[in-house]
């Protein structure tokens, strides 16, 4: 971590779901959070939600799939801090449909946000992460992948492929940054109760795609279930963990469960 009293984090997809929950967790711990999302209205809602920590919650409109948007966001961040202790890449989109029937625009959008966006963000954050990293307190990058990277589903092939690619980026980047004091890992949640998942469920009758739903543990995950594992990956207890992809799925990918 850096030497300042307040630690700094950048979170993408920060206006809803897992990203929003991560913002709240870090704000409660006294961190300053640079919250990136392209949904300006939802960012405004997040600002209101965290109004008691308004001095440490910095919403920045940013489309992670657009290199110029990412660069502009990090120019603003760099003007406010000289180092960043953690980058959490949670921005993601889902497009349903069989692979060969999917529109090219949908296929490209999924990879642009889920894979390229995380890569662009990590690249832009690297100088600030390097400034924060110390041998006894590494800086962190955590990518939010998906259990779909471990067990793909028909109708969600493009999403699964984009998340597989993201896990490989995490693994290779962990090795490439091993000597910099930056630890890179990924989490792989299954069904999480987020706005994106709720919309997929609502659209199931039209799209034909159904989410995995209840895990062997008898429920779907809440965002806090994912945030807690991300918190572990930020902690000293994970100081020797690099290139890991941790399932957060209540056993969903552990074994096939006949219905």
Extract the tokens encoding 240: 């020797």
Mean pLDDT of 75-88: 98
CA distance 195 to 201: 10
pLDDT for the residue numbered 208: 64
Give the model confidence (pLDDT) of 145-169 as tens digits.
Answer: 999 999 999 999 999 999 999 999 9
- Which residues 6+ apart lie within 8 Å of 148 measured at CB? 156, 159, 160, 163
- Annotated catalytic residues are 159
pLDDT at 205: 58
Least confident of 102-111, 138-147, 190-199, 244-253: 190-199
Contact 77, 10 (CB under 8 A): yes
C-alpha to C-alpha distance for 186 and 20, rounded to whole angstroms: 17
Per the prediction, the chain carries an average pLDDT of 94
Q: What is the mean pLDDT of residues 86-115?
A: 97
User: CB of 19 within 8 A of CB of 37?
Assistant: yes
């Amino acid at each position: 971590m850096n030497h300042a009293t307040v630690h700094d984090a950048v979170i993408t997809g920060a206006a809803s779901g897992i990203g929003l929950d991560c913002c709240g967790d870090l704000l409660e711990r006294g961190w300053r959070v640079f919250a990136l999302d392209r949904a300006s209205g939802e960012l405004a809602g997040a600002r209101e939600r965290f109004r008691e920590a308004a001095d440490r919650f910095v919403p920045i409109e940013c489309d992670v799939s657009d290199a110029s948007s990412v660069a502009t966001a990090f120019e603003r961040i760099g003007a406010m801090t000289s180092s960043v202790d953690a980058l959490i890449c949670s921005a993601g989109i889902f497009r349903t449909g069989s692979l060969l029937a999917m529109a090219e625009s949908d296929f490209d959008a999924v990879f642009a946000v889920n894979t390229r966006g995380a890569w662009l963000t990590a690249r832009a954050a690297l100088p600030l992460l390097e400034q924060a990293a110390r041998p006894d307190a590494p800086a962190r990058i955590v990518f939010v992948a998906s259990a779909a990277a471990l067990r793909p589903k028909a109708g969600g092939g493009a999403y699964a492929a984009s998340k597989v690619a993201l896990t490989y980026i995490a693994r290779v980047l962990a090795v490439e940054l091993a000597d910099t004091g930056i630890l890179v890992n990924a989490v792989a949640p299954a069904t999480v109760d987020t706005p994106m998942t709720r919309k997929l469920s609502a659209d199931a009758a039209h799209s034909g795609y159904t989410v995995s739903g209840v895990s062997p543990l008898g429920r779907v995950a809440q965002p806090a279930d994912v945030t807690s594992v991300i918190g572990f990956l930020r902690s000293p207890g994970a100081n020797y963990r690099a290139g890991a992809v941790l399932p957060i799925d209540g056993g969903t990918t552990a074994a096939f469960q006949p219905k």
